[in-house]
Structure 1
Amino acid sequence: MTARKSAINAGMSDTLNDRIKERLELIKRSASNVSKAATGNEDAIRRIYRGHMPSGERMEMIARELGTTVAWLLGKDDQPAKPELSLPQPYDFPTFSEAERAIPEMATFDKLKLGKDVPVLGTAMGSDMHFDEDGLSKIVEMTEIDENDVIDYVRRPAGVAGRKDIYAIYHTGISMQPRFFPGWLSFVETRREPSIGDAVIVQVARPEGDEGDGRIYSVLVKTLLKRTQEYIELEQYNPPIVFRLPAKSVHRMHRIMENNDLYGL
């Protein structure tokens, strides 16, 4: 990430934090109270203060509880008041028996298999990696993912019913646009080996002898282009770069699932 982009992101984060605090003071409520009422998680706003950007849906819920709009919280609108919403026209919903006749599967739909039980791991922006290529320094954006920080649980799609090897993340940063945008939710599987062209989460470990620990020090969310015994080749889109990592430095690589996987197609 360039210094200019870092400054823009830092400025947006400062604006968001300041405006949340302004609304909390105005409505005389605590951050934990609003977080709990909006999302069910008392730490939602505290996580924003620490630099974790919530999904668009969660941001909408927080803004609604604060009595304002997402645009105002992000500094894109000077009007803090919540706008009046036009009420939808009345609609006569079908009775359950009518819906059941129209969609027979509803009678045997097993909600237990699609429970709200997929953990969402905490994510945040990480430090950039730099690669020299053709005499130019290329910037590779990194992400922090804390496997011990479960910030939420989301309902599992039909295509992963009953599977225990699934987790989810909210994307941060802009390096994978337009494939992923900040705040988008992705489901990740740990059982299936990634194929060429898949989006992947790569845990990179320090080489043995480098500070002597061999622990994970960075996480990359990229597209897998090539895989050999010696290296893996990855791509990011913004700024565009193709780069290689030694295979021995890759601790784990997990596949980010596509919509067809989630719908069981």
Structure 2
Amino acid sequence: MFLVETNSALVATKMLMTKPVELPPIAKRLKEAREALGLSQPELAERVGMSQQGIGAIEAGRSIRPKKLRELARALGRTEDWLLGEGSDDAAATPAAYPKHEPNAETGGPVRLPRQRIPLYGGAIGGSDGRFVLNGHKLKDVLAPPSLEGVRNAYCVYQYGTSMEPRYFAGEVHFVNPNLPVRRGDFVVAQIMDEEGEPPAAFVKRFISWNSKELILEQYEPRENWTSDEPEAEKYILRFPSERVVSVHVIVQTGRE
């Protein structure tokens, strides 16, 4: 009988020693909320300014009221009371410091490129100061930029020479709207009749003025036929008699083909 009682006491003692330790509510709830958001311990620690060891200590039950309780609650989208086990799941939600946002836009189908094509005009360099031939000879058709979609008689030309650098460089393409009114400071394609009956010449320049007497344009390099006998102010200026001016059209966009 004595032995039986002794054995019973030993068994009871062993059962008491192996009974699992009950974790505090914050340990279980912190881990539950963290895993629900797909966060690792280091990620949560970084968000609230703690160490990973600090998060581990809470989930292991060694820290039951951490100093950064408020930050933890906001990062997890829960209330402080809920984390401490003092609130129900119904009252768990609170505005999170790191909410997951829903998409604010949807992608549609493939992007539709402009279908209108416009002519690219140009010809061999015919002279100084970026002069080129513009006699209606079409080099090819290119896609119109959006700003010229549906614009009547829109066209484009190559940049020749270096007279407009650093604004424009040789080989760039200027897209032109021939229907816009020209204003001072606009960059334009001016078409000028040749004095000797040659095909019209064209120039890409900056528009200054145009009256009954003359068309005045400006470029960025000194005019090639400028001499020191002329005023310094004329160094970058080109003047053409108005009776020789065929057209002056506004450049609306420049780029590569």
Query: What is the TM-score normalised by the length of structure 1?
Result: 0.46
Query: What is the TM-score normalised by the length of structure 2?
Result: 0.48
Quick check: which one's strand share is greater?
A: 1
